[in-house]
Amino acid sequence: MTSDSHSVLLVTKDTKISSLVSVMLLPPQFELTVCADFNEARRKCDERNFNIVIADFAEGEGTDFAIDISDSLSTILLLAPAEHFDQISFKVEGYGILTLTSPFDQFYFYNMIKVAIAVQYKVQVLSSKAIQLKQKMEEIRLVNRAKMLLMQGKNMTEQEAHRHIEKEAMDTGSKKTAVAEIIIKTLS
């Protein structure tokens, strides 16, 4: 995350919570969106990715919402009533959801926001690496398929097919994947 601003979605029907969080998460460091309806919040999460999503328990509706969006890249904080904290925390921790008691101490809440920011940085780094690995695997798959077609169609050895693809890429100033795609189209 290169930006110093963090997008935050707060989902709560409790005006005390929304007022308190609004005072703590101020621009320009935070871009806060407050939503009182969980269905509307689901739509907002479908439309864009928030760095941090804070959901109030709201008689279990917040727990269901947090679990529903847990596949997103957002760091999710669930505000749970103190009397049910252990049970709720146990239920959601397998989804990567952080829980904190509600009502909350402002200092504790701010520290949890700092934890959520740190987690968000790590999620984005890992997500970027996963995308790079996927691209690399796709490149390898394409080149290997092209080599196999050259070996079958042109009676080349694997080394000859590999050299052919590399030489063609160098001669044309193309990437090996572009050469592999042409070979696959021609020999398939």
Q: What is the pLDDT of residues 56-105, one digit of tens each?
A: 998 889 999 999 999 998 999 999 999 999 999 999 999 999 999 988 88
**CA dihedral of 29, 35, 38, 41, whole degrees rounded to 10:** -50
Residues of the chain with pLDDT under 50: 1-2
Q: What is the pLDDT of residue 14?
A: 93
Q: Which of 129, 121, 141, 177 is nearest to 6 (CA)?
A: 121
Q: What is the pLDDT of residue 4?
A: 78
The Cα–Cα gap between 46 and 71 comes to: 11
- Counting other chains too, the contacts that 103-111 makes at CB distance below 8 Å and 24 or more residues apart are 104/79, 106/20, 106/24, 109/21, 109/24, 110/24
Q: What is the pLDDT of residue 3?
A: 57
The Cα–Cα gap between 20 and 109 comes to: 10
For the record, the structure tokens of 37 come out as 């309806």
Q: What is the pLDDT of residue 2?
A: 46
Q: Which of 47, 79, 34 is nearest to 61 (CA)?
A: 79
